[in-house]
Structure 1
Amino acid sequence: MFERFTKEARTVVVLAQEEARMLNHSWIGSEHLLLGIASRAGAPGAATLERLGVTPAACRAAMVPASAGELDEQDAAALSAIGIDLDAVRDRAEEVFGPGALDHAATPEQSRGRWRKAAKGAPKGHIPFTPRAKKVLERSLREALARKDNFIGTQHVLLGILDPADHPTAALLARLGTDMEAVRAGLLAELEQAA
């Protein structure tokens, strides 16, 4: 399937991995692919994302907790509903790994240099795709076929990301003040205008 990816779409996948590293994530999810597309100014779909406020800096900020290491009451209640005591988890992590063990190393608002320093502790080597991200790549092929394109470009990857069942990406877009329907409509209008 990757042989059908355009150079730009392949670059987005590489950027997704780099962004996951900088965020100290040990996985590549659909949200990282979205961040990769947003980072490629001029790529199909990137202008739509920017117009809707989905910029690289905004994505990173929305992907990092507002106050490092702290979850809000809604998070604690959701975890409690499935039997997880957030305070007990935090206490145990600090007991084993030391005070502040759950604090995030850096935030996107910090300078690029400090952001890169935070990435030094990031995962090394291959970072695996989550099942969600794999489905995005599969859906991108289906989107290309549906549009009768013989290649998979960034626009197809973005369409593949816009699955209502992808709750983490839907939540990320909501934190950025938009939703999947607005992104899809904007992207389709962008593609129609370019044709």
Structure 2
Amino acid sequence: MFERFTPGARAVVTGAVTRAERLGAPTVTEEHLLLALLDQEDTRGATALRALGLTGPRRASLEAALTEARRRGGLSKADTDALAGLGIDVTEIVTRVEETHGPGALTDDRPGTSRRSGRRPFTREAKKVLERSLRVCLGRREKTIGDEHLLLALTAHPGVVSEALADHGVTYTAVEGALV
């Protein structure tokens, strides 16, 4: 499938791997794909993100939302709201865990959790995003997978990343509109 990727989409995938390595993360996640996509400048996906206003303070806000979700062990707001409905305060749990085990105890990118050598595998969710980008590409009757297809796939895949994007006005429909 990688042979169908445009140079921009390849840059996002390799950038995600680089980000994971730099953070010491044991795997490449959807978040790494999004952050690498945000680093792009002259691609269709980057242009769509700029058109949707995801620059400067809004980008910083998105990154902060992703950091907070990582701190909660990857739980989305919907997850924490559902648990709150059962009387479980996730913020209190995270605070107690961090008091005992240190800041970021529920994240995968704490010091000492990285792999020693070799390539980092993609999580199941990140692989699904890559597969979905192919389906989006085919559904749009296009021949190559661009970073815009990765962005559309990120917005369509339920989870923390799509929720954070939606909270910042970046939905599948909004991205499609920005790509026109």
Sequence identity percentage: 39
* Equivalent residue number for residue 160 of structure 1: 153
1:60 pairs with 2:63: yes
* Equivalent residue number for residue 123 of structure 2: 130
- 1:60 corresponds to which letter in structure 2? E
Gaps spanning 5+ residues in structure 1: where? 105-117, 190-195
Q: 1:151 to 1:35 in 2, by over 3 A?
A: same
TM-score by length of 1: 0.65
Gaps spanning 5+ residues in structure 2: where? none
Q: How many residues matched?
A: 169
Q: What do residues 39-71 of structure 1 show as CA deviations (whole Å, max 9, x unaligned)?
A: 1111112111122232454442231229x78x9
For the residues of structure 2 that align with 1:11 and 1:127, how far apart are their CA atoms? 16
For the residues of structure 2 that align with 1:92 and 1:38, how far apart are their CA atoms? 31
For the residues of structure 1 that align with 2:155 and 2:175, how far apart are their CA atoms? 8
Q: Name the larger-Rg structure.
A: 1
- Secondary structure of 1:45's counterpart equals helix
- 1:5 corresponds to which letter in structure 2? F
1:9-88 alignment to 2 at 5 Å? 9-22=9-22, 25-55=25-55, 57-65=60-68, 78-79=82-83, 86=90, 87=92
- Secondary structure of 1:65's counterpart equals helix
Q: 1:168 to 1:91 in 2, by over 3 A?
A: closer
1:180-195 alignment to 2 at 5 Å? 180-187=172-179, 189=180
CA RMSD of aligned residues (A): 3.7
Q: 1:179 to 1:160 in 2, by over 3 A?
A: closer
Q: 1:77 to 1:44 in 2, by over 3 A?
A: closer
* Equivalent residue number for residue 96 of structure 2: 91
